[in-house]
Amino acid sequence: MPASCSQCGASTAWDSDIGSAVCTSCGSLTDPSQSVLVSAQYGNQNDTSEPSLWDPSASITLKSLRAGNNWDLAGQGKESRDRKNAYAMAEFIKSLAVSFGATGLSPRAIALFNQTRSSTHFRWGKKSRTVAAACLAIALRESNRPDCLRDLASLLKVAPTLISREFTSITSALKLSLSPVDPAVHISTLQAHLAFTLKERASDLPVTLITALRNLCLRSVTNTAISLSQILARLSPDHDVLRLPAPPTACGMFILALESENRTALNPLADLAECLGSRCHVAKSVVMSRYKTIQDEIALWVESVPWLDKYESKNGRAKVSKRLIVARGLKDVIHFQEEIWQQKTMPTPDLELSDVESTADDDEQSLHLSSSRPRKRPKLNHALSQATRFLLDPLGTSVSSTISLPPNETRLSSEHFSSRLPLAAYILANPASLIRRPPTRLQLLALDRGGVNEDQIPDEELFADGEFEKMLRNEEEVQTLRETFGWKEDDDSLQGDEGAALSNQGTSKTRVKRVASSTEDEILQGSAFSPRKKSRLNMEALARFLAGDGDEDNVNFEGDDIDSSLMGLEEVVNQSDGEETRFGHNDQIDIDEDEDLDSRVVVESSPSPQRKRPSTASRGQEDADLEVVVENWRPPTPEHPVSDSRYEEEYD
């Protein structure tokens, strides 16, 4: 008999759902401490139509997977492991959908994941995460939203190509047809259309606008527009940009990217909007409306960047226009939003993997690491440093130290030499000459000897047999040079005598005579390298004029009796005589090195004619009785020739 209610005394009835007796009058529980243990894992989730992951018909009996006494307990079989992994991936897909503001698309993404799993039977692990991201991208595309493949790849820390590959395989396996809704798809088309328009001579755009657009890099503009499209795809699905068609949105993004590259507003803007809209079959007014919508959204993003100027308007007017602020700060806003997005971390699903699946996951990770570009090994032989050493010391740099011989070869051919010659060897040469012409004798010797020093390559080996004789002039060339420079046949004999004198290492007296004769010949007759200089002076007449003194002096000059002191040649004659005495009579003459140079001059031994003058001694005797007072007096230039001592002179 049921107990009565303790509150009102009415009868009670047992309710199995709550595990307690309930009063039929007031509804109070007889035993309020009763509770029912339930699990959200095995039931309808969130009271929605989402299918349950719990399968009550699954077998939980004990069984042996292998022969023997190895038994698996309940929940340790493959079926139960797959159910747990499927539940974990469902939670992972939900978290991805929350990141993109598309929580309503998670059931569709989970259904696509289960269908792909049943059709392709992929393994759990890294493969399942990329498949889940691709399923969410398909769900976004079906709801007329951008797929956001690059953003999904950045959250999962994988390459975008992996998700793109899974996206293509799932659509082909499930036979899905999707229409492109991402505005970034139309950016490349707009770039090509604008580039073609700027190349045309007859363009509808104004000249000022064409001049401004030709100075911009369209490739950089395209990258900015694509990045802006990826950021706008993260907005709420109820935003006007995502609900409206993609072509006019792409035109508005491209215009904003052009102004961002130009760092200022483009005018007239209506003509540019009409030009871009004509390619996508969109009216000018629609493009301008989409341009203003995206501009307002970017202006809100500028407010969150601390180092950018803000748009401030007072009474409907602002110091700096919104177009200019957006044009200057668009690239900074893109970088700022990308840094915030990359700082987000996604939880990794806790999956139960078998031995085969864990091994396959490790193999994929090792394959990804091995496919990455390896680190560069440091070069032991840098061409730039070798060229620097070659320019500093060309003769001391070894050419063969950096050339390696091919296997099974003992000598480099001309092709190997030109291809393997280091930078230091041909930096000053023409590469074409090295390829077309064979190496020279000096190059081959330097290669064999390992350098070009005198110890390694003597002068005798620089020329081959008969090579130097071919470089000498023949008789025709000699005759041509004689006619050109006006040389005579006697010059050859004179040069031959000089050559014989050089080869004859006889007495020193002969060498002194040869030097004197060559000096005289060069002065009077000239030489092969220094032609004779013509003079208008008659030396004999000049000597007579200088030596003669009217009627007072009767001096006869004949040939070699000319006084050399009057012609200014006494120094040359004395020098030649001094050399003859020094070289011919070394045993008889001892010259003191400490004496002055003037004391070494030897006075000419042969008598020379002199002018007859009154004796200075007689004049001194006549004037001996006279007293002369010298005040501020300067001695005149002596008129008599040099005697033994130039300091013993008498003055009037």
Listed residue (111, 132, 116, 112) closest to 48, CA to CA: 111
Report which of residues 202 and 437 the model is more confident about: 202
Output the 3-class SS for 31-88.
CCCCCCCCCCCCCCHHHCCCCCCCCCCCCCCCECCCCCCCCECCCCCHHHHHHHHHHH
Tell me which residue has tokens 């130290």. 401
Whether pLDDT at 253 is above 90: yes
- For 499-513, the DSSP string reads HHHHH----HHHHHH
Whether pLDDT at 99 is above 80: yes
- pLDDT at residue 423, as a whole number: 53
**pLDDT tens per residue across span 2-23:** 677 777 778 888 776 666 777 8
Q: Name residue 322's amino acid.
A: K
Mean pLDDT of 601-620: 45
Whether pLDDT at 257 is above 90: yes
Tell me which residue has tokens 């005589």. 577
Report which of residues 422 and 469 the model is more confident about: 469
- If pLDDT is split at 50, 70 and 90, which confidence band does 258 have? very high
- pLDDT at residue 359, as a whole number: 64
Rounded to whole angstroms, the maximal C-alpha distance in the chain is 191
Instruction: Read off φ and ψ for residue 15, nearest 5 degrees.
Output: -120, 115
- For 206-223, the DSSP string reads -HHHHHHHHTS-HHHHHH
- pLDDT at residue 354, as a whole number: 65
Tell me which residue has tokens 């008599």. 640
CA atoms within 13 A on the CB side of 361: 17
Tell me which residue has tokens 């809209």. 277
**Gap between the terminal Cα atoms of the chain:** 180
Mean pLDDT of 347-365: 62
Percentage, residues of the chain above pLDDT 90: 13
- pLDDT at residue 431, as a whole number: 54
Total residues belonging to the chain: 652
Whether pLDDT at 533 is above 60: no
- If pLDDT is split at 50, 70 and 90, which confidence band does 398 have? low
Per the rule left: phi > 0, alpha: psi between -120 and 50, beta: everything else, 58 is: beta
Tell me 336's DSSP state.
H
Mean pLDDT of 374-380: 61
Tell me which residue has tokens 């390992």. 450
The mean-pLDDT minimum among 27-36, 99-108, 228-237, 425-434 falls in 425-434
- pLDDT at residue 652, as a whole number: 45
- pLDDT at residue 508, as a whole number: 44
**pLDDT tens per residue across span 454-500:** 888 888 888 888 888 888 888 888 888 888 888 876 655 555 555 44
The answer to whether the Cα torsion of 509, 511, 514, 518 is positive or negative is negative
How much is the mean pLDDT over the chain?
Answer: 70
- If pLDDT is split at 50, 70 and 90, which confidence band does 128 have? confident
Tell me which residue has tokens 């307690």. 20
Cα–Cα distance measured from residue 381 to residue 387, given in angstroms and rounded to the nearest whole number: 11
Report which of residues 570 and 284 the model is more confident about: 284
The mean-pLDDT minimum among 96-110, 179-193, 253-267, 370-384 falls in 370-384
- pLDDT at residue 66, as a whole number: 53
Cα–Cα distance measured from residue 604 to residue 600, given in angstroms and rounded to the nearest whole number: 12
Whether pLDDT at 602 is above 90: no
The answer to whether the Cα torsion of 150, 159, 122, 67 is positive or negative is negative
Cα–Cα distance measured from residue 40 to residue 214, given in angstroms and rounded to the nearest whole number: 63
Contact yes or no for 172/160 (Cβ under 8 A): no
Report which of residues 441 and 590 the model is more confident about: 441
Apex 296 CA angle, 242 and 333, nearest 5: 90
Listed residue (100, 102, 220, 221) closest to 149, CA to CA: 100
Apex 124 CA angle, 120 and 127, nearest 5: 70
User: How many angstroms from the chain centroid is the CA of residue 425?
Assistant: 23
Report which of residues 361 and 292 the model is more confident about: 292
Containing 647, the helix (H) or strand (E) segment is: none
- pLDDT at residue 213, as a whole number: 92
- pLDDT at residue 256, as a whole number: 94
Tell the CATH superfamily of the 78-173 domain. Answer: Cyclin-like (1.10.472.10)
The DSSP bridge partners found for residue 531 are 526
Tell me which residue has tokens 């602020």. 325
Mean pLDDT of 517-528: 47
Mean pLDDT of 411-427: 51
Take residue 553 and report the two structure tokens written for it: 């002096």
Which of 414-423, 424-433, 483-492: highest mean pLDDT? 483-492
Whether pLDDT at 367 is above 50: no
Cα–Cα distance measured from residue 129 to residue 512, given in angstroms and rounded to the nearest whole number: 105
- pLDDT at residue 459, as a whole number: 83
Contact yes or no for 238/279 (Cβ under 8 A): no
Report which of residues 172 and 203 the model is more confident about: 172
Containing 159, the helix (H) or strand (E) segment is: none
**pLDDT tens per residue across span 191-250:** 999 999 998 877 788 889 999 999 999 999 999 999 998 888 887 667 777 778 888 999
- pLDDT at residue 78, as a whole number: 75
- pLDDT at residue 519, as a whole number: 47
Listed residue (99, 156, 100, 161) closest to 132, CA to CA: 156
The mean-pLDDT minimum among 115-119, 173-177, 571-575 falls in 571-575
Instruction: Read off φ and ψ for residue 461, nearest 5 degrees.
Output: -95, 0
The mean-pLDDT minimum among 38-42, 176-180, 482-486 falls in 38-42
The mean-pLDDT minimum among 71-75, 374-378, 499-503 falls in 499-503
Cα–Cα distance measured from residue 412 to residue 399, given in angstroms and rounded to the nearest whole number: 13
- For 229-298, the DSSP string reads HHHHTTS-TTSHHHHS-HHHHHHHHHHHHHHHHHTS--SSHHHHHHHHHHHTT--HHHHHHHHHHHHHHH
Tell me 393's DSSP state.
-
- What residues does each domain of the chain span? 1-37, 78-173, 183-342, 388-469, 475-524, 539-585
The mean-pLDDT minimum among 219-233, 246-260, 587-601 falls in 587-601
Cα–Cα distance measured from residue 255 to residue 523, given in angstroms and rounded to the nearest whole number: 90
Whether pLDDT at 572 is above 60: no
